[in-house]
Amino acid sequence: MNFFRRWWDRQNERDAFKKGMIAFSKHCVAAVKHHVPQATRVRARAIWYGDQTRARVVWADGSGRTWQWPLYLAFHAYRKAPEQREAIIARSLHALLNPPDDTGDEDDEQRVPRTAEQVAQRLLALVAVVWRANTREEIAQEGIAWAKAHGITAFLSPKEHDFIFHAQRPPQQDFTNLGWRAEAMVPMIWALGGLPAMPPSNERSTSWSNPMLRRAMQSPADFIASAALRPAVAVEDEEGRLLDEHWHVRDAQLRRQPVPPGLDAGIVIERRYALSWMVGYGDNWDDVPTDT
C-alpha cells in the first residue's frame, strides 16, 4: 500500500508540474509576440514530458532564422518566486536575444540536422534492412543482392550490417525488431517530398508502394544526388509532435493504461526515432536517444 501511495503521489506531482509548465509557456509565447514583433509561427514545444527539460518556445524571425527559447530554468525560477513571473520571463527572453559575444547555444552547436544526402542514404539503408527482415528467405536474399549491387552496404550502421550479413540466419527477434523499421522509413519519405503529409500514427506503413521510393530503389545514385528536404522548421515541428505522442504512449504504459486512441506504440516509437535522428540527435543511427 505504501508503494502504491508513493507512486500515486509521484504521478500527481508530475501532473501538477506539467500543468504549471503549460500555463507558464503560454505567458512566454505571449512575451515573444509582444517583444519580438517580427516573430512568426510562435509556438510552445515539448511541453508534455515528465521532467520538462526540453520544453521551449520556438519561432522564426524576419530573416528566417529559427529561435528556440528553453523554458526549464526560467520555470524553476518562477516556481520559487511566482510573484516575479513577468520579470523572470523578461530577463530570460532578454538573455536569449542578447547573448554575450563569446557564447552560443551549446545544444545547437552539438545538434546538427542531417542533410538531404544523409537522409536519402539512410532511407535506402532502411530499405535494405526491412527487405532482409522478410521471413521468406528467397525474398530476403533479393534484398541483399540489391544492396550489394547499388552500394547500399556503405550506408548501413554496424548493427544493420551484422543483421544483414549474419553468418547464420539471424535470431527471430531481430526479424521482428528490424521489420518495424518500415515505420522509420515513413518520416524520411515525407521529409524528402514523397508524401504530402505524415500519415496518422495508428496507420501502418505502405511505403513499398510509394512512387518516390520505387524510383529511389530503381536508381539509388540519382535519388541521392537529387534529394531535397522540407524546410528544417517543418521537420523540427514534426519531431516535436511525435515526441509529444511518444510521451503519451510511455505515460500510458507506465500507468498500465491503454495507449491513447489514434496512437500505435510501435509506429510512434519508430517514427519518433527517425525524426529525432533527422533533426540531429544521436552520434549515429544506432545511438539515437528516445527519452521522454
pLDDT for res 166: 80
**pLDDT tens digits for range 57-105:** 988 888 878 888 888 788 878 888 889 999 999 988 988 888 765 444 4
Percent of the chain predicted with pLDDT > 90: 50
User: Do 276 and 119 form a contact (C-beta atoms < 8 A)?
Assistant: no
Percent of the chain predicted with pLDDT > 70: 88
Query: In whole angstroms, what is the distance from residue 130 CA to residue 178 CA?
Result: 6
The residue ranking higher by pLDDT, 126 or 176, is 126
User: Do 32 and 39 form a contact (C-beta atoms < 8 A)?
Assistant: yes
DSSP character for 70? E
The confidence band for 131, taking pLDDT boundaries of 50, 70 and 90, is very high
Domain ranges of the chain: 2-110, 111-292
- The 3 state secondary structure assigned to 110-160 is HCCCCCHHHHHHHHHHHHHHHHHCCCCHHHHHHHHHHHHHCCHHHHCCHHH
Q: What is the mean pLDDT of the chain?
A: 86
Judged by DSSP in three states, 281 sits in coil
**pLDDT tens digits for range 241-269:** 898 899 889 888 888 899 989 999 999 99
Find the mean pLDDT for residues 278-283. Answer: 91
pLDDT for res 2: 63
pLDDT for res 44: 86
The residues, any chain, with a CB within 8 Å of residue 222's CB and separated by 6 or more, are none
Res. 4: pLDDT tops 80: no
Find the mean pLDDT for residues 194-216. Answer: 95
pLDDT for res 10: 63
Q: Which of 113, 21, 52 is nearest to 247 (CA)?
A: 52
Judged by DSSP in three states, 258 sits in coil
Find the mean pLDDT for residues 195-209. Answer: 94
Q: Tell the residue number behind the cell numbers 496507420, with chain if given.
A: 203
User: Do 67 and 35 form a contact (C-beta atoms < 8 A)?
Assistant: no
pLDDT for res 147: 94
